[in-house]
Structure 1
Amino acid sequence: MQLQGRRVLITGASRGIGEALARAFADAGAVPALVARSEDSLRSLASATGGTAHPADLADATQVAELIERIENEAGPIDILVNNAGIESTAAFADAPADELRRVTEVNYLAPAELCRQAIPRMLRRGGGHIVNISSLAGIVVFPGLVTYSASKAALSHFTAGLRADLRGLPVKTTLVELGPVPTELLARADNYEPTARSFQRIERLGFAVDTPRETVALGVVDAVRRQRRHVRLPRRSMPFSLLVEAPRRLTEVLLSGVPHQAKS
């Protein structure tokens, strides 16, 4: 996909990976439409990247329900949707606050799925588009203290695979991004729970994971959209885990070759 002049909606854009994505897409010639709760930092980043700011809380289903329409009314058609926003939950599952399961699932899975549902018909009417869902290796492997977070990311990853199958033959493409540790505030908070922190340390000591700079993630995503690649997996040394999970999905694609993926209108 040619990125020059394309409008890219990025959620969770005020800091961390989201900020790096905004800058990388702007450097590639795209126009960022930025979503986050932090209005001041969002507007500052929009000014720096030549984009637009659209403050919203993705934990509020009412705001999510009208978000795509609102942004397209304020800024123009969305060509690329990057579902990056995410929140962590690090605790023993039964000890977590009463509303944490709903809140994490809402932001990490339900909001991205709903934004896809809103964006896809609009993209199809305009002749094409691209969807990027930022997931995690925590959706593949299991760490103590990350039950709710891991389940939400596993849902997002499998949703993206299903969406890819649903869109087969149509001009809307998908990219699933599966990330190991990226130095951000979210990762730092995960270290507050000792079983999770010690698990991370063990995996890193054994060489299965290493920190990936957020700028590297952003450049990988931009390249994947430009080349319409299905996956971005970082760090590369963790790729075997992703490939093991992906194998049944790819096999199903082969088994269903020739079966229509859309109902006839």
Structure 2
Amino acid sequence: MAQERVALITGASSGFGLLTAVTLARREWRVLATMRDLTRRERLESAARAAGVLGRIEILALDVTDLEQIAGVAATVAARGLRMDALVNNAGFAMAGFADDVTDAELRRQFDTNFFGAAAVTRAFLPQLRRQGFGHIVMVSSVSGRSAFPGMSSYSASKFAMEGWSESLRLELKSLGIQVVLVEPGAFETDIWTRNGTLSEGTLDPRSPNAARVERWKKGIEGAKKQPDAQVVADGIAAILEDPKPRLRYVYGRDAKMALMMRRLLPSDVFERLMVKYSGIDGNAG
């Protein structure tokens, strides 16, 4: 009888994390769904119950910025004799705002969760993955980790850091049987820019030198059309975890694919003008 596959997912209270947890459970995985705040577990439990897979999902408290809690969860998994087929580093939030309005403290908070948190969780489980000689590590990055956009410098910086760290990690672990993969979604219907989004205090200040640009930028975001269903990304992650030899990067979303294609094919000055125009920060300037 085949041994049960186990996946640990961070940031499973909403968005890609929640959908991936339910998707894997449907595929008969055992899922350790972690989240910083257990009072936000209701959405996951409701979705899992509706899918008939609540019994395959165990919800654990895990704040990826808390090193002691990370160590505790890793120790618990090892002590219970659970194998670790997959680690999905999904926890994160978006700090929006113009670069000169974001404080050092805000920028560090962005990195603490999106980059240092993912790195710390990965390092905590590496000893077990090494002992096993197998396992997948999926880093949920973003197209913003390959192509930066106006008003998203903090978020992009954290994802660029994740990209470089993960690419190096993949090379270090490849011969050990451990697969490292980057998932790069574009805009999807998740909480990343609502409940899990934060606008820097300086950007909200009417005295900001970017005040007029902020208003134009916000109108562009508010007027954006409904985004695609995030289930596409969850299905993609599930397929990656069941592929013994996945590639390094997977891009999801028409907007992400288009942005990366334009960045690759267009002269840099043309691409930059298009990005500024698309963002709306300078009105109709192009």
Tell me what 1:232 maps to.
250
User: What displacement does 1:24 show?
Assistant: 0.6
Q: Shift of the alpha carbon at 1:34?
A: 1.1
CA contact (8 A) 2:10 2:62 kept: no
- The amino acid of 1:131's aligned partner reads I
Task: Decide whether the 8 Å contact of 2:139 with 2:181 is kept in 1.
Answer: yes
1:184 matched residue in structure 2: 190
| 1:100 maps to amino acid | E
Count of residues in correspondence between the two structures: 239
Taking a change above 3 Å as real, the CA distance of residues 244 and 79 of structure 1, as seen in their structure-2 partners, is farther
The alpha carbon displacement at 1:98 in A equals 5.1
CA shift for structure 1 position 10:
0.3
Q: TM-score, normalised by structure 1?
A: 0.78
Match of 2:170 in 1: 164
Aligned 8 A contact 1:33 1:54 in 2: yes
Q: 1:16 to 1:219 in 2, by over 3 A?
A: same
Contact 1:59 1:103 in 2 (8 A): no
Give the aligned partner of residue 219 of structure 1.
235
- Cα offset, 1:78, TM superposition: 2.1
Find the residue that maps to 1:164 and give its secondary structure.
helix
- Partner-residue secondary structure (3-state), 1:107: helix
Partner SS state of residue 153, structure 1: helix
Matches within 5 A, 1:146-161: 146-161=152-167
Question: Which structure has the larger Rg?
Answer: 2
Q: In structure 2, what residue type is equivalent to 1:229?
A: P
Summarize the Cα distance change of 1:197–1:143 in structure 2 as closer, same or farther, 3 Å threshold: farther
- Are the equivalent residues in 2 in contact too, given 1:84–1:133 (CA < 8 A)? yes
Q: Distance in 2 between matches of 1:212 and 1:116?
A: 29
Deviation of the 1:92 alpha carbon: 2.2
User: Does structure 1 conserve the Cα–Cα contact (< 8 Å) formed by 2:65 and 2:113?
Assistant: yes
**5+ long unaligned stretches in structure 1:** 247-265
- Alpha-carbon deviation of 1:60? 2.6
- Secondary structure of the corresponding residue to residue 175 of structure 2: coil
Q: Does the CA contact (< 8 Å) of 2:67 and 2:120 recur in 1?
A: no
1:131 aligned to 134, 137, 147, which one? 137
Deviations 1:60-106 (A, max 9, x none): 33323443223443682322100001111011233335522121101
Instruction: State the one-letter code of the partner of 1:213.
Output: D
Counterpart pick for 2:112 among 99, 106, 111: 106
Provide the residue aligned with 1:95 in structure 2: 101
Q: CA deviation at 1:39?
A: 0.9
Q: TM (normalized to structure 2)?
A: 0.72
CA RMSD of aligned residues (A): 3.1
Q: Is the 8 A contact 2:78 2:128 kept in 1?
A: no
Matched with 2:275 is none
Deviations 1:195-246 (A, max 9, x none): 55467699x89xxxx9332111000110111114223211156336557999
Q: Is there any run of 5+ residues in structure 2 with no aligned partner, and where?
A: 205-213, 265-286
Aligned-pair identity (%): 28
Counterparts of 1:109 and 1:10 in 2: how far apart (Å)?
A: 15
